[in-house]
Chain A
Amino acid sequence: MSEHYSVIVGLSLALVVTSLLVVEVRHLKYAALAYFVQGLLLVAILVGYATLLPNHALYLWSVTVLISKAGIIPLLLWHYLKRMAPMETPNALGFGISLVIGVAVLAGFYWLVDGHMTWLAPVPQLAGEPYGTNLSVAFTILAFGLYALLSRRDTLKAVMGVCLIENAVHLSLVSLAPGLPETAMIGVVTDVVLSVWILLIIIKGMYEQVGSSDIREMAKLWG
């Protein structure tokens, strides 16, 4: 049993690394690719939990994730990225400092969440393995997504930050609400796909009018 756990722990770590890549890689197409890989990893993790726990509902979840987060959303990102500038607008921090802070956010939050598991786990057994790592990773990626939203100037990167946050929430559901009915699940996923799509439509509209996906270029409203 324990080697199965270590596979899942390994996949979770890979999930953290892909999050770092999504945010820090400045070439937007490669960042989107990293997001696609993260979607696949998420599917693998769900299948892993489905066989390990065993919880057959999670197989259905993994199909939902495969369609939405390793299918529709990466395709949408790809479709809109092709029509815009290939490189991200440089952020205020610069590549090196941003990378260091990003790693610090990831490590710091993992440590913080792992140490306060009782805050998140409604029953004690959820704090132990294999749920504990899952929850820690989910909340770490959530915090990292927020960091991405706050530190990036590129609107497309902001959308990828939102995608990371949604992935994190999805991951946390495995531990917190594995009994969630499929209808509720489909509702949640539909919301995510539609919100990403509409955000991309709006960004493309701005790109056509302003010629850049830089948030500062379009900021005219204030107060």
Chain B
Amino acid sequence: MESNSILLWLIIIIPALAAGLEALMGRKRPQSAGLAAIVGAAITLGLVLVLVWQVVQGEKLMAWSGQLYADGLSALVVLVISIVGLAATVFSYRALRGAVAAGKTAVGRLPLYFSLDALFMCTMLWASLTNNLIMLYVVVEATTLASALLVTFYWKRESLEAGFKYLLLCTVGITFALLGCVLIYAAASPYLGGHQAMLITALAPVVDKFPRELTLLALAFLVVGFGTKAGLVPFHSWLPDAYSQAPSAFAAFLSVGIKVAAYALARVLTIFYPEYSGIGLLVVALGMVTMLSGIVFAFAQDDLKRMLAFSSVSQIGYVMMGLGLGSSLGYFGALYHFLNHALLKSMLFLCVGALVYTSGTTLISELKGQKGKSALTAICFFIGALGIGGMPPLNGFWSKFTIFLAAAQSGMWWATGVAVFTSLLTLTCLVRAAYKVFLEREDEHEEPAAACENTQNQPAVALPWSMLGMMAALAALSVLIGLSPNLVNQLIAPAVQSIMYIAVGG
């Protein structure tokens, strides 16, 4: 059942308005920066919940004569974006003021932060709601543009380098996605006409008429383009730099950015599965390489944020593997993991933000044995580490287990093997880091001077309730999702259906 709805417009416009308000009010009252962004994100989440409710009931919402479109898949993605967006924005309110107190940035720059934060939310929501092939490129690139100046927010040499790499690689990469989209559009327009050929949902019935070489070239461009933005190995080199240099609270939100690119890839690529079965295999292989090399790099990191970033690379590999399998079980696992990982990883980044707030550093070697860390941060971090590591009965276990099963069901035992192995490595890597940071006592002989110096610079402070609350809320949500399969099924089954529906040309 398809119906027109103003909801889609509102979901995009409200964060944009919040961004505008932040920029306007920030000139006069920079000290109140963040309020408009928080209110905007809260209203957006409310609207998204209504949208999700309607979609779960079996409706498909449209606006702008089909240019905006929400089915189960987009509903899942906008839900993830708005939950993490709200949590990260509320968390930022105090975290950024902590950064100002620590002398990392000035009060006058806070409105810029919250304005771009709201704009980033707007572009990501738009990217998940657009049904226009060319606009998909435009808005995915816009997410990069909105976030680039937040990666460089502290304006240090390293953050500038990270921002430059991020913007350059993602812009060039995504240009290839544009070429891919244009080639598909060019191939479809003789059959559908100029206007219809731009609508992603209209493509499936004519895919088999496209010239074969052209389609393969276009799909390769799409994989390279959206793959760069999604952080697939070997196009991932921007990701650890950008995540580790961005303010921790924003890194939590940025970690959803790669998932939007993965969504864009899934949206377009799955249309071609019935005709081009080899594409799925390529995606599985890419996912496998990505998951394994991501976690191997993660082991070598001393910076907690870089470690989490490489783990994100690794986890996006799982999502890709599930999507590549092309079976409904595979899609289910991939989307379930998409949800779990988004919640868990952004929660872990918020934990790092809390550690920065209290201890002033993100290096595992410096955090080790330091006092003044809150117990709740430790509990949340352990939930995140165990969840992403795939420890039952947490949510990460169920989604990974589904992906293992789906791979085995498709006869790809080698892929299952690699995925299980990577999962064990992930568990070791994250839990080891959590243990070092929170539980290990400092060795008497190991330069206590350095640690003391740090604690003097950054006196131990109590975490504000808004920061603790956001971490706890995301952690509770993850646990809840792990424990109630019915809730999960209601959310993810429509998303899986909408992929299958489009792929068979409904």
Pairing of A with B? yes
Residues of A within 8 A of B (CB): 116, 118-123, 126, 142, 146, 149, 155, 158-159, 162, 165-166, 169, 172-173, 176-177, 179-181, 184, 187-188, 190-191, 194-195, 198-199, 201-203, 205-206, 209-210, 218-221, 223
B401 within 8 A of A: no
Residues of B within 8 A of A205 (CB): 152, 155, 160
For the complex with contacts A184-B135, A209-B156, A223-B306, 13 further pairs of A-B residues with Cβ separation under 8 Å are A119-B214, A169-B178, A172-B182, A176-B185, A181-B198, A187-B135, A188-B178, A195-B145, A218-B164, A219-B161, A220-B158, A220-B161, A221-B158
- A158→B194 contact, CB < 8 A: no
Q: A120-B183, A179-B189 are in contact. Are A184 and B194 (CB under 8 A)?
A: no
Residues of B within 8 A of A146 (CB): 172
Measured in the bound complex, the distance between the Cα atoms of B194 and A177 in whole Å is 8
Residues of B within 8 A of A (CB): 132, 134-135, 137-138, 141-142, 144-145, 148-149, 152, 155-158, 160-165, 167-168, 171-172, 175, 178-179, 182-183, 185-187, 189-190, 194-195, 198, 210-211, 213-214, 217, 240-241, 244-245, 297, 300-301, 306
Which of A122, A187, A206 is in CB contact (< 8 Å) with B183?
A: A122
- B157→A155 contact, CB < 8 A: no
- A162→B168 contact, CB < 8 A: yes
Which of A116, A199, A209 is in CB contact (< 8 Å) with B164?
A: A199
Residues of A within 8 A of B183 (CB): 120, 122, 176
Which of A120, A142, A220 is in CB contact (< 8 Å) with B214?
A: A120
15 CB contacts below 8 A, A to B, read A122-B186, A122-B210, A126-B186, A169-B175, A169-B178, A172-B182, A184-B138, A194-B145, A195-B141, A202-B148, A206-B161, A209-B156, A220-B157, A221-B158, A221-B165
Q: State how many angstroms separate the Cβ of A161 from the closest Cβ of chain B.
A: 8
Q: Chain B CB within 10 Å — which of A121, A122, A198, A220 has the most?
A: A122
- B138→A188 contact, CB < 8 A: yes
Q: State how many angstroms separate the Cβ of A157 from the closest Cβ of chain B.
A: 12
Minimum-distance CB pairs A-B, first 4: A179-B194, A187-B138, A176-B186, A122-B187
- B178→A199 contact, CB < 8 A: no
Which of A116, A188, A206 is in CB contact (< 8 Å) with B134?
A: A188
- B172→A165 contact, CB < 8 A: yes
Residues of B within 8 A of A194 (CB): 145
Residues of B within 8 A of A206 (CB): 157, 160-161, 164
Which of B164, B175, B190 is in CB contact (< 8 Å) with A202?
A: B164
Q: State how many angstroms separate the Cβ of B175 from the closest Cβ of chain A.
A: 6
- A199→B175 contact, CB < 8 A: no
Measured in the bound complex, the distance between the Cα atoms of B167 and A192 in whole Å is 11
Residues of B within 8 A of A223 (CB): 240, 297, 300-301, 306
Chain B, Cβ-Cβ closest to A190: B138
Residues of B within 8 A of A126 (CB): 186
Measured in the bound complex, the distance between the Cα atoms of B308 and A56 in whole Å is 52
- A191→B138 contact, CB < 8 A: yes
Q: Chain A CB within 10 Å — which of B171, B190, B211 has the most?
A: B171
Which of A119, A180, A191, A221 is in CB contact (< 8 Å) with B161?
A: A221
Which of B160, B178, B211 is in CB contact (< 8 Å) with A218?
A: B160
Chain A, Cβ-Cβ closest to B245: A221
Measured in the bound complex, the distance between the Cα atoms of B211 and A118 in whole Å is 8
Residues of B within 8 A of A159 (CB): 168
Mostly helix, strand, loop or mixed at chain A's interface?
helix
- B157→A195 contact, CB < 8 A: no
Q: State how many angstroms separate the Cβ of B238 from the closest Cβ of chain A.
A: 10
Measured in the bound complex, the distance between the Cα atoms of B240 and A126 in whole Å is 42
Q: State how many angstroms separate the Cβ of B153 from the closest Cβ of chain A.
A: 11
- A199→B168 contact, CB < 8 A: yes
Measured in the bound complex, the distance between the Cα atoms of B157 and A203 in whole Å is 11
Residues of B within 8 A of A203 (CB): 164
Which of A155, A162, A176, A201 is in CB contact (< 8 Å) with B171?
A: A162
Which of A120, A179, A184, A210 is in CB contact (< 8 Å) with B132?
A: A184
Q: Chain A CB within 10 Å — which of B141, B160, B240, B300 has the most?
A: B160
Q: State how many angstroms separate the Cβ of B180 from the closest Cβ of chain A.
A: 11
Measured in the bound complex, the distance between the Cα atoms of B195 and A177 in whole Å is 11
Residues of A within 8 A of B135 (CB): 184, 187
- A177→B161 contact, CB < 8 A: no
- B152→A191 contact, CB < 8 A: no
Chain B, Cβ-Cβ closest to A186: B138
Residues of B within 8 A of A202 (CB): 148, 152, 160, 163-164, 167
Q: A180-B134, A191-B138, A209-B157 are in contact. Are A155 and B164 (CB under 8 A)?
A: yes
Q: A187-B134, A198-B149, A223-B300 are in contact. Are A169 and B161 (CB under 8 A)?
A: no
Measured in the bound complex, the distance between the Cα atoms of B189 and A190 in whole Å is 24
Q: State how many angstroms separate the Cβ of A111 from the closest Cβ of chain B.
A: 18
Measured in the bound complex, the distance between the Cα atoms of B179 and A121 in whole Å is 13
Q: State how many angstroms separate the Cβ of B64 from the closest Cβ of chain A.
A: 10
Measured in the bound complex, the distance between the Cα atoms of B111 and A20 in whole Å is 43
Measured in the bound complex, the distance between the Cα atoms of B217 and A118 in whole Å is 11
Measured in the bound complex, the distance between the Cα atoms of B156 and A205 in whole Å is 9
Chain B, Cβ-Cβ closest to A183: B135
Chain B, Cβ-Cβ closest to A195: B171
Measured in the bound complex, the distance between the Cα atoms of B333 and A219 in whole Å is 39
Residues of B within 8 A of A119 (CB): 213-214, 217
Q: Chain B CB within 10 Å — which of A121, A155, A184, A191 has the most?
A: A191
- A198→B161 contact, CB < 8 A: no
- B145→A172 contact, CB < 8 A: no
Q: State how many angstroms separate the Cβ of A220 from the closest Cβ of chain B.
A: 6
Residues of B within 8 A of A180 (CB): 134, 185, 194
Chain A, Cβ-Cβ closest to B300: A223
Q: State how many angstroms separate the Cβ of A171 from the closest Cβ of chain B.
A: 12
- B189→A177 contact, CB < 8 A: yes
- A209→B160 contact, CB < 8 A: yes
Measured in the bound complex, the distance between the Cα atoms of B221 and A172 in whole Å is 14
Which of A116, A121, A198 is in CB contact (< 8 Å) with B145?
A: A198
- A122→B190 contact, CB < 8 A: yes
Measured in the bound complex, the distance between the Cα atoms of B176 and A146 in whole Å is 11
Q: State how many angstroms separate the Cβ of B243 from the closest Cβ of chain A.
A: 11
Residues of B within 8 A of A179 (CB): 189, 194
Residues of A within 8 A of B241 (CB): 221
Chain B, Cβ-Cβ closest to A221: B241
Q: State how many angstroms separate the Cβ of B299 from the closest Cβ of chain A.
A: 11
Q: State how many angstroms separate the Cβ of A33 from the closest Cβ of chain B.
A: 23
Q: State how many angstroms separate the Cβ of B232 from the closest Cβ of chain A.
A: 18
- A177→B145 contact, CB < 8 A: no
Q: State how many angstroms separate the Cβ of A210 from the closest Cβ of chain B.
A: 7
